[in-house]
Structure 1
Amino acid sequence: MEANERVEDEEEKQELWSWGAGTDGQLGTGKLQDEHVPQLLPVLPSLSLLSCGGAHVIALTHGKKVLTWGRGTSGQLGHGDLVNSLEPKSVEVLNNFNITHASAGWNHSGFVSECGYLFTCGDGSFGQLGHGDYVSQSYPVKVSHLASRHVCEIACGMRHSLALLKGEHGDQVYGFGSGKRGQLGISKEKVKSVSLPQSVSGLQEVDVSSISANGDHSAALSSDAHLYTWGRGFGGTPDVCCPNRVISRYSFKQAALGWNHALLLTDEGDILMLGGSHHGVLSNPQKEISVNQDLDQGQVKEIPGLDRIKVAGIASGSEHSVITTGKHFGWHNGRALRVG
């Protein structure tokens, strides 16, 4: 699952390119094949957000409508069937709503409407759809448990989901789905799974500005630029069942989670890393990181080769990372490479 990538300038001419694994149609090229170089997709409506899941993609248009494509065998595309889509296709059941946020998980999807409703579809076998059961859905279904609240953001991990709610009584984060690594944050003890949204402990007094989920990890950023993480421990450290604030001298404005790592972007445009060195995703395979230490002592590190580069945006897949600077960089075999 990649972090959502927003397109800031509606007026600028857009092109959409894709590459990599394509055997489930997730590249949107109309072909069931991998592509080793970027492929230009046919003309699409102007897009405001992209979210890449296990093998499917969600796109939001500037008109607040939804397109999906790729693997659909669990119903995660929201088209009412269990088949793959080789090209972007409208999610017609949501056409009567203005969709402002979306997230693609491993095999499930979440959509947030302008009026604050949350819709989910796809694999529900771990309760990650939030409908009070463990049933999969091929159409987006409103999460009735949150229908009286205003949801503003959804984050889908591998088998769990987070929802950010805004209201007169403050912000709240809810978790549902698999909790075996503590990624739900709803209890001091690990829970196997829950199928109805439950409030994440320890964030009730925090003004949460955004949430993130990937693999068995969860994270939240506060409006005063603090980072909170919970779930699977990074770098072989113990799992954490309740949100823990990352103690640092930096102010964070974005977090991007992978399966074994996280990228952190500061207000000053510096990029930091948290987690292990599996597959070189952090461009620093030699250093071990302890999440029990303060940042200055080794909890998170600057990435070698990027210390003089100001970063504009970050994204993480399961085992890879990308940053935007005005130029684009990615990581492979532990080294930072320019990829665009």
Structure 2
Amino acid sequence: MSELNEAPSPADEEEVWSWGAGTDGQLGTSKLQDEHLPQLLSLTSLPSISMLACGGAHVIALTSGGKVFTWGRGNSGQLGHGDNLNTSLPKPLSFFDDDYFISQASAGWSHSAFVSDSGCLFTCGNGSFGQLGHGDNISLTSPAKVSYFVDKSVKMVACGMRHSLVLFAGNQVCGFGSGKRGQLGVSSDRTKSVNLPCVVSGLEGVEVVRVAASGDHSAAISANGELFTWGRGFCGSPDVQTPQCLPSSQSFREVALGWNHALLLTFDGKVLKLGNTLDKQNEKQQLQEDSSETLLEKVIGFDGVEVLQIAAGAEHSAAVTESGEVQTWGWGEHGQLGHGDTNDQTNPQLVSLGSGDLQTKETNVYCGSGFTYVVRRKQQLSSSPTSS
């Protein structure tokens, strides 16, 4: 996920598009159905969006004013409205009103986490694996402050399927929740679950600037562009219990994790991948059984094009190019690629988002487990003076 750092000007117009799996209301269309083509949403009740977070079947939206809206599946309380109900349209999360400015959020399979500008962390939703970090395995229908971080100034949170990662002051990373595949990075032994934050070992002396989590994977990026991964192994390689630095001559500024793959974005706009959801067996055959080296490949289709942002769903991928185009590839069963069908695509394909009398100023793409969102900020084209 990424954030829009520039506040919209009065002349800007914001477009929000969604497509893919929609039977739990996660597309925000008010219809409980999948959509194979991008749907332009009419979100008059939702002010300017600063970022989205997409989970298993729910969405969190933050506004430029620090307000929170959630919608989609709410069966575990992940929407934070004090109940276990689904909602098919964005609903304001009143818990934070007037008390907290929420600056970052993350959505897991069925839990949610929120970071305030004062460095506090709040979680809600399914807590059965300890992924809420409150020292128990209780699920919560309203956000609750995680006491461990009260005086630790949280910078960022990332939610996986059943675990959470937190980056806090001092460049330290904590993990909590399910750890059976090593995704918590708390020890060399397999840990089934942890319900209190534990410091990830193996990142001592590393200036971590970004964390990511999805499925049973965890990742971190350092200030100098090194990528560390731990948890479930990619391409059939063994699980990793503590963070391992990826041997590469490239420097990375962004990582997006899926259930079986990872996308990596370099500082010069190249996209690389670990794993491949559509050809897992072939990749396994390319690995030597006694090798711990992970297969790193260039994503085909972006030659000569700079990519500005990447996103990964459970089994699909998306990217925004320098021209503001959105391209998607991977698994397409629910229409999450936005091409009008349910076909899989091994290489990036352009998504048509319409045109008009506005020019795109900024585009951001976000992926849930089987659905996709795009937020575009556009501005009026300057008109040429007419002669009389």
- Which TM class, normalised by the smaller chain length? over 0.9
- How many angstroms apart in 1 are the aligned matches of 2:75 and 2:315? 23
Q: Alpha carbons of 1:197 and 1:286: their partners in 2 closer, same or farther (altered >3 Å)?
A: closer
Q: Distance in 2 between matches of 1:286 and 1:18?
A: 34
When normalised by structure 1's length, the TM-score is 0.92
**Larger mean Cα displacement after TM superposition, 323-332 or 207-216:** 323-332
Q: Does 1:147 align with 2:150?
A: yes
Provide the secondary structure at the position in 1 that maps to 2:134: coil
Partner deviation per Cα, 1:171-196 (whole Å, 9 max, x = no partner): 10000000000000011111000000
* Equivalent position of 1:172 in the other structure: 172
1:274 aligns with 2:274: yes
- 2:86 counterpart of 1:115: no
The separation in 2 between residues aligned to 1:205 and 1:94, in whole angstroms, is: 35
Residue pairs, 1:1-340, within 5 angstroms:
4-9=1-6, 10-11=8-9, 12-42=12-42, 43=44, 44-95=46-97, 96-166=99-169, 170-275=170-275, 277-279=276-278, 288=286, 292-293=292-293, 299-325=295-321, 326-331=324-329, 332-340=344-352
Deviation at 1:122, TM superposition (A): 0.1
| TM-score (norm: length of structure 2) | 0.81
Letter in 1 for 2:82: G
Q: Which amino acid aligns with 1:225?
A: G
Partner Cα separation in structure 2 for residue 316 and residue 288 of structure 1: 24
3-state secondary structure, aligned to 1:247: coil
CA contact (8 A) 1:289 1:300 kept: no
Percent of residue pairs bearing the same amino acid type: 54
- Listed as ranges, the gaps of 5+ residues in structure 1 are none
Any idea what SS the aligned residue of 1:6 has?
Answer: coil
Please state whether the residue corresponding to 2:278 is helix, strand or coil: helix
Q: 1:76 is matched by which residue type in structure 2?
A: Q
Structure 1 residue 228 displacement after superposition: 0.3
| CA drift at 1:107 | 0.2
Instruction: Please say if residues 278 and 285 of structure 1, whose CA atoms lie closer than 8 Å, have aligned partners that are also in contact.
Output: no
| Cα distance between partner residues in 2 of 1:137 and 1:289 | 43
For residue 33 of structure 1, report the CA deviation from its aligned partner. Answer: 1.5
Contact residue 75 and residue 86 of structure 2 kept, 8 A: yes
Aligned partners of 2:139, 2:77: CA distance in 1, in Å? 7
Give the superposition deviation at 1:126.
0.2
Structure of greater relative contact order (alpha carbons < 8 Å, 6+ residues apart): 2
Q: Which amino acid aligns with 1:309?
A: V
Distance 1:36 1:23 in 2: 13
Equivalenced residue count is 327
Take 1:76 and 1:61, find their aligned partners in 2: how far apart are those partners? Answer: 19
- SS of the residue 1:93 aligns to: helix
- Opposite residue 320 of structure 1, the aligned amino acid is H
For the pair shown, the structure with the greater C-alpha radius of gyration is 2
CA deviation after TM superposition for structure 1 residue 17, in Å: 1.1
Measured in 1, the distance between the counterparts of 2:85 and 2:22 equals 15
Q: Distance in 2 between matches of 1:24 and 1:249?
A: 43
Taking the aligned partners of 1:184 and 1:286, their CA distance within structure 2 comes to 25
Name the CA distance, whole Å, in 1 between partners of 2:3 and 2:155. 15
The letter for the 2-side match of 1:61 is T
Q: How much does 1:306 deviate? A: 1.9
Classify 1:174/1:13 alpha carbon distance in 2 versus 1 (closer, same or farther; 3 Å): same
Q: Secondary structure at the match of 2:192?
A: strand
- Describe the superposition over 1:132-190 as per-residue Cα deviations: whole angstroms up to 9, x where unpaired: 00000000000012212111100000000000001xxx210000000000000011111
User: What amino acid is aligned across from residue 222 of structure 2 in structure 1?
Assistant: S
